[in-house]
Structure 1
Amino acid sequence: MKHILTLVALILLSVTTYAHTLNSDPPVKTMKTNSVQHIVLFKFKPETTAAKVKEIVAAFEALPSKISQIKGFQWGTNNSPETHAHGLTHAFILTFDSVKDRDDYLPHPAHKAFGGIVGPWIDELTVVDFTNQAK
């Protein structure tokens, strides 16, 4: 009888835990209020090889280790089913704690050096920054 009660208790615990996860909202990670998101979108020139794109991405990925103001770095390639990318293929999002940190990043020698690496291969470049307003 003791084993049956233990088994029933385990089953009830499992069911209630599962039911709780179905009704819970997914966790939301919010960025720091007033943080700055620096969004960079690239369209490469047609002659840019896959190896060159890989080299450029690696150089961009190295910037957070060289520029302390960069607090977050993400990137990916466009996979939107919508047809509004205008040929832009690569997206990068850098997070800064403040407008001042972003402004310090822009003239940083490592950022300028990266511009020299990527510049000759870019057909179109879009940059949009915003300060987080979410609370």
Structure 2
Amino acid sequence: MKNYLLLLFAFALLCGCVNRTNQNKDQIHAKNTMRESLRHIVLFKFKESSSSADLKKIESAFIALPSKIKEIKDFEWGLNNSPEGLDKGFTHCFFVTFESEADRATYLPHPDHMAFVALLDGHVDDVLVLDYWSK
């Protein structure tokens, strides 16, 4: 009886391991079949003369773009909180996702995007833009 219980326990343990391995393979397959996306990253370093109200207005304007420009498929943003001290004064990061280069080409000259760019005048000390295809 003791050997039977030991054998039953070993079998159950083995089944659990095999099931977990199959789950991991499914997760890897799902990740590998995900569609690539075009990422558009914008970092801002604002002038010290810009007030918190100015920055809030700029933030709100960028946050509103996805509701105005249908080519934006995903959007997120945040403020730097890195403890490393390597930010070089960049405080704001905006992360925009497109499905295609054509979508980005529509976004860049879009009137709502251009209105946002005009809003930045006199407030930006530096800007860094980086686009890439996700892998």
The TM-score, its normalising length taken from structure 1, stands at 0.74
Gaps of 5+ in 1: 1-23
Whether the aligned pair in 2 keeps the contact of 1:35 and 1:96 (CA below 8 Å) is: yes
The runs of at least 4 aligned residues of structure 1 exceeding 4 Å deviation read: 27-30
Deviation at 1:68, TM superposition (A): 0.5
> 1:130 aligns to what?
132
Corresponding pairs, count: 109
Alpha-carbon distance in structure 2 between the residues aligned to 1:119 and 1:83: 27
- The alignment's C-alpha RMSD in Å is 2.3
1:101 matched residue in structure 2: 103
Look up the match of 1:54: 56
Post-superposition shift, 1:124?
Answer: 0.5
Amino acid aligned to 2:119: I
**Sequence identity, in percent?**
46
Preserved contact between residue 34 and residue 98 of structure 1 (Cα < 8 Å): no
Q: How far off its partner does 1:34 sit? A: 2.6
- Whether 1:70 aligns to 2:78 is no
Computing the radius of gyration from Cα coordinates, the structure with the larger value is 2
After TM superposition, the score normalised by the length of structure 2 is: 0.74
